[in-house]
């Protein structure tokens, strides 16, 4: 019988027992799960019922707080709190009712009816409490009432002062007594009205209202007596009458507000029907909470009973499973122990590094298959170790050649980096010159444009000067005409003076002088006219020359602008070339750094190869065969390295200049033949890392 059959039989029996135990456990766990769900549901119901009772109690506390406070703001705050508690209680009741059983709902229905009645009573209480009768009446009296009493007393004092000033008489004595009686009756009326405010029952309010009516009539009679007594004395009574009537009106308003009895009616509801209904509601919900607790105890007891029976059955099934498993394990262990001992010996030899030993299998079961597999593994390991030794030798030799090539590559990269730095410095200097030329051309362009604007302004000024000179010439012509007419007038005056004889001699002298001045003015005007004509001609010539000069200056500015644009393009091109050279310098330095890293890595690789050889030497496979394979592999590697190290033709310098950055971004690249592989150092390796479209922008250092 094979091990598979033995294991299958024992496992099948264990599986059957496990299935039985699992089915039993599943059944019991399902029952326990249902019990747990029911228990959790009852617990949740109990929690909600407790929260519901707390909300109702908080609702009742808010109701009492409303009656304890007198300020409208405070009462409204507690009213809002009461309504919020009511909404939360209604929500909790809905959840409790939905999760309750039929028996639980039967207990909740009467409590719900009582709770609705309680809410109705509280709404009525809130309506009365919002009246705030006593506080409103007291506030009115403290505000307007006390001020009216003070004004009334002042009016009485003024009337009393008038009475004191009156001459002694019976009317004076009677007026003083009536005035004191009015003061007393008014004070009595105020005290009785405050009794209405301070009443605690409806009966007290009604009695106080009757007393107020009586005192109001008495105060009215006293007021009429005072008015009648003041009239004979000539003392005005209008102020006393007005203040007394004001107090009477305020008392009426205070009594009217206090008679609404909002606080008394609200308190009567709270301590009467509200208290009774609230107790009934709380009793109903407490009864449901007790029912929930009893239900939880019942579910818990049933769950414990089911768990005890399930535990007993599970222990029996587990004991049977343990016995069957132990017996089958012992039988299988004795049957495969001896075969595994031989396989263990082979594995120990393999662990010791002896790959020359083999074990002959003596059974046809799985252990025999294991021994044969171990023999195959040992044979394969011999082959793998031999190949690994050869590969380690190859890696050691190749790493040395790689190190030499990396050193040569590092030297060439260093030289190329130096050349690149020199080219970068030259390009920086050329770029600075181009930028200076661009700045100078830009300044020249600015000067030329400013000169053009100045020439245009000068032409306009010359034009205005020509117009002014023409105006002056016209004015000078007028002056010449005036001088000519003055000359004629002076001549006529001289003729008239000659006719006058001795009496006109003085006038003739004056006329002669005026004529001379007119002639000189005419001569000067003629000369000025000639000069003005010459100036106009010269100004016109200057304007024409400026007109010809302006287009030339504008053309010069345009040419300078083109020169500036060309210089800027050269600046951009030189900046791109400089950027490319700097990128080349960066790449060259990276190549030098990479070659140094390759050299260090190759040395580390050689050390690792030697360590690998030392590690693989742990296995014994036959030294002659391994050494022969290693020597053959190393010789083959060195011959390949010699062929790869043949000198290559030097690569020509790149003739074309570095293309602009825009050409480098073109998606289509010109194809180039693959360059020859670089020469490697003697005895080393030559690496061909391939080219791409950017290699044409670089040159290889000699």
Model pLDDT for residues 607-632, shown as the tens digit of each residue: 777 777 777 777 677 655 555 555 55
Residue 572 has pLDDT above 70, yes or no: yes
What is the b/e burial string over 507-525, where b = at least 16 CB atoms within 10 angstroms of the residue's CB? Answer: ebeebeebbeebeebbeeb
Band of the pLDDT at 21, cuts 50, 70, 90? Answer: low
Domain ranges of the chain: 3-129+268-324, 144-260, 369-697
Structure confidence by residue, pLDDT tens digits, 422-474: 777 877 787 788 778 878 877 887 887 787 777 778 778 877 877 887 788 77
d(CA 664, CA 577): 12
Question: What average pLDDT does this structure show over 685-689?
Answer: 43
- 10 Å Cβ neighbour count for 702? 10
CB-CB contact of 125 with 254 (8 Å): no
Q: Which residues pair with 354 in a beta bridge?
A: 620
Structure confidence by residue, pLDDT tens digits, 147-167: 877 887 787 778 778 777 878
Structure confidence by residue, pLDDT tens digits, 581-606: 888 878 877 877 877 777 778 777 77
Task: Report domain 144-260's class.
Answer: mainly alpha
| Residue 620, token pair as written in the block | 């014994």
Q: Which residues contact 183 (CB under 8 A, 6 or more apart)?
A: 153, 156
CB-CB contact of 361 with 372 (8 Å): yes
Higher pLDDT pick, 570 / 298: 570
Among the CATH numbers 3.40.50.300, 1.10.287.950, 1.20.1050.10, 3.40.50.11900, which is that of 369-697? 1.10.287.950
Instruction: Mean pLDDT check: name the lowest of 184-188, 379-383, 625-629, 671-675.
Output: 671-675
Q: Which whole-number Å values give the CA distances from 136 to 65, 149, 156, in the listed order? A: 18, 18, 29
Q: Which residues pair with 620 in a beta bridge?
A: 354
Most confident residue range from 75-89, 259-273, 638-652: 75-89
Structure confidence by residue, pLDDT tens digits, 71-111: 767 777 777 888 888 888 778 778 777 777 777 777 777 77
CB-CB contact of 96 with 233 (8 Å): no
d(CA 584, CA 417): 8
Q: What is the pLDDT of residue 670?
A: 37
Q: Which whole-number Å values give the CA distances from 459 to 111, 452, 549, 550, in the listed order? A: 111, 10, 10, 9
Q: What is the pLDDT of residue 683?
A: 38
Percentage of the chain modeled with pLDDT above 70: 73
d(CA 596, CA 602): 10
Residue entry with tokens 């307007």:
144
Residue 378 has pLDDT above 70, yes or no: yes
Residue 175 has pLDDT above 60, yes or no: yes
Q: Tell me the fold of 3-129+268-324.
A: 1.20.120
Band of the pLDDT at 303, cuts 50, 70, 90? Answer: low
Q: What is the pLDDT of residue 658?
A: 36
Q: What is the pLDDT of residue 649?
A: 38
Q: What is the pLDDT of residue 43?
A: 66
| 690: region left, alpha or beta (phi > 0 left; psi from -120 to 50 alpha) | left
| Residue 422, token pair as written in the block | 């020199």
- How many Cα atoms sit within 13 Å of 305 on the Cβ side? 6
Q: What is the CA radius of gyration of the chain?
A: 65
d(CA 580, CA 665): 13
Structure confidence by residue, pLDDT tens digits, 500-550: 777 777 777 777 787 788 778 778 878 887 887 777 777 777 777 777 777
Q: What is the mean pLDDT of the chain?
A: 72
Strand extents, DSSP E, 185-291: none
Of 202, 185, 198, nearest to 248 (Cα)? 185
Helix (H, G, I), strand (E, B) or coil at 545: helix
- Decide: pTM greater than 0.95: no
Q: What is the pLDDT of residue 645?
A: 45
| Residue 86, token pair as written in the block | 């009511």
Residue 675 has pLDDT above 50, yes or no: no
Structure confidence by residue, pLDDT tens digits, 655-669: 334 334 333 333 333
d(CA 623, CA 628): 8
Of 449, 452, 445, 451, nearest to 562 (Cα)? 445
Of 677, 674, 667, 678, nearest to 692 (Cα)? 674
């Amino acid at each position: 019988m094979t091990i598979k059959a033995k294991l299958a039989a024992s496992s099948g029996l264990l599986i059957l027992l496990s299935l039985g135990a699992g089915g039993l456990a599943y059944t019991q766990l399902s029952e326990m799960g249902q019990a747990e769900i029911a228990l959790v549901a009852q617990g949740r119901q109990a929690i909600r019922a407790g929260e519901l009772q707390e909300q109702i109690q908080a609702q009742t506390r808010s109701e009492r707080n409303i009656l304890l406070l007198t300020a409208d703001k405070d009462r409204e705050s507690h009213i809002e709190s009461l309504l919020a508690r009511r909404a939360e209680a209604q929500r909790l009741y809905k959840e409790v009712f939905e999760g309750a059983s039929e028996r639980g709902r039967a207990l909740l229905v009467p409590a719900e009816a009582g709770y609705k009645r309680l809410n109705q009573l509280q709404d009525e209480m809130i309506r009365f409490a919002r009246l705030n009768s006593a506080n409103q009446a007291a506030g009115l009296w403290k505000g307007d009432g006390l001020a009216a009493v003070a004004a009334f007393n002042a009016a009485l004092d003024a009337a009393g002062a008038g009475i004191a000033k009156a001459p002694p008489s019976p009317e004076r004595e009677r007026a003083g007594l009536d005035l004191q009686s009015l003061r007393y009756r008014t004070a009595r009326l105020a005290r009785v009205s405050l009794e209405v405010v301070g009443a605690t029952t409806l009966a007290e309010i009604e009695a106080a209202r009757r007393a107020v009516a009586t005192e109001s009539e008495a105060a009215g009679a006293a007021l009429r007596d005072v008015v009648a007594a003041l009239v004979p004395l000539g003392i005005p009574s209008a102020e006393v009458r007005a203040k007394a009537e004001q107090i009477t009106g305020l008392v009426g308003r205070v009594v009217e507000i206090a008679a609404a009895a909002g606080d008394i009616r609200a308190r009567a509801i709270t301590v009467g029907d509200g208290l009774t209904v609230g107790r009934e509601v709380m009793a109903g919900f407490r009864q449901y909470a007790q029912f929930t607790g009893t239900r939880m105890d019942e579910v818990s007891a049933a769950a414990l009973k089911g768990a005890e029976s399930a535990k007993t059955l599970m222990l029996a099934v587990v004991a049977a499973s343990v016995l069957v498993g132990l017996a089958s394990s012992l039988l299988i262990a004795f049957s495969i122990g001896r075969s595994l001992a031989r396989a263990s010996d082979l594995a120990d030899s393999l662990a010791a590094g002896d790959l020359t030993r083999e074990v002959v299998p003596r059974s046809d079961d799985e252990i025999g298959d294991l021994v044969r597999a171990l023999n195959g593994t040992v044979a394969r390991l011999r082959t793998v170790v031999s190949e690994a030794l050869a590969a380690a030798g190859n890696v050691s030799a190749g790493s040395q050649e790689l190190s030499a090539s990396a050193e040569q590559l590092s030297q060439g990269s260093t030289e190329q980096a130096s050349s690149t730095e020199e080219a970068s410095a030259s390009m920086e200097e050329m770029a600075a010159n181009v930028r200076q030329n661009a700045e100078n051309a830009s300044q020249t362009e600015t000067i030329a444009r400013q000169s053009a604007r100045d020439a245009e302004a000068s032409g306009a000024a010359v034009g205005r000067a020509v117009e002014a000179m023409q105006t002056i010439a016209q004015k000078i012509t007028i002056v010449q005409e005036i001088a000519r007419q003055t000359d004629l007038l002076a001549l006529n005056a001289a003729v008239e003076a000659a006719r006058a004889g001795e009496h006109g001699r003085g006038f003739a002298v004056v006329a002669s002088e005026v004529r001379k001045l007119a002639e000189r003015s005419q001569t000067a005007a003629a000369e000025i006219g000639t000069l003005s004509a010459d100036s106009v001609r010269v100004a016109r010539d200057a304007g024409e020359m400026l007109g010809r000069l302006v287009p030339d200056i504008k053309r010069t500015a345009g040419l300078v602008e083109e020169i500036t644009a060309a210089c800027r393009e050269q600046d951009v091109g030189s900046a791109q070339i400089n950027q490319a050279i700097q990128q080349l310098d960066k790449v060259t330095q990276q190549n030098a750094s990479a070659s140094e890293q390759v050299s260090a890595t190759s040395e580390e690789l050689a050390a690792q190869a030697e360590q690998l050889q030392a590690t693989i030497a742990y296995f014994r496979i036959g030294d002659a065969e391994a050494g022969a394979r290693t020597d053959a592999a190393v010789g083959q590697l060195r011959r390949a390295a010699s062929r790869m190290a043949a000198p290559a033709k030097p690569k020509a310098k790149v003739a074309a200049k570095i293309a602009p950055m825009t050409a480098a971004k073109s998606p289509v690249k010109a194809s180039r033949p693959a360059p020859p592989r670089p020469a490697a150092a003697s005895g080393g390796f030559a690496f061909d890392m391939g080219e791409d479209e950017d290699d044409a922008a670089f040159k290889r250092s000699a």
